[in-house]
Amino acid sequence: MTLAEDECAFMLKATNTAGWQRELRFAPPRRWRFDFAWPQQRIALEIEGGGTWVSGRHNRGAGYVNDLEKYNAATLLGWRLLRVTPEMVSDGTALSLIEALLNNAQVAAK
């Protein structure tokens, strides 16, 4: 778990955002997990860690290709995926995106 994930969990609890799970596995037998997921709405959040501004795992060839495979598989399985940086968690952007997508999912279900 990263500090950004802990911060995001704190924000979700503080705002009473319901229905989320942390580290949800999807697409068995693959061992892929979403950082956060709302399974009933098939919404997922990935906090892109180290390497946003400096080359890190997600920006290197194999890591990038593996992430693309995971994200494309999620899309093909009907998941809507939000990808954010740790800075977007800290400044509230991630929470705003989550709330907007959840509200859209609730409206669509009516």
What is the three-state SS of the chain?
CCHHHHHHHHHHHHCCCCCCEEEEECCCCCCCEEEEEECCCCEEEEECCCCCCCCCHHHCHHHHHHHHHHHHHHHHCCCEEEEECHHHHHCCHHHHHHHHHHHHHHHHHC
Res 15 pLDDT > 80: yes
Position with higher pLDDT, 7 vs 62 = 7
Centre a 10 Å sphere on the Cβ of residue 84 and count the other Cβ atoms it contains.
19
pTM over 0.75: yes
Instruction: Tell me the backbone φ, ψ of residue 44, rounded to 5 degrees.
Output: -135, 150
| pLDDT for the residue 42 | 97
Q: Which two tokens stand for residue 2?
A: 């990263």
How much is the average pLDDT of 4-25? 96
Question: Over the stretch 59-86, which tens digit does the pLDDT of each residue have?
Answer: 567 888 999 999 999 999 999 999 999 9
Euclidean distance between CA atoms 74 and 46, whole angstroms: 12
Percentage of the chain modeled with pLDDT above 90 = 76
Give the type of residue at 48. E
What band does 19 get if pLDDT is binned at 50, 70 and 90?
very high
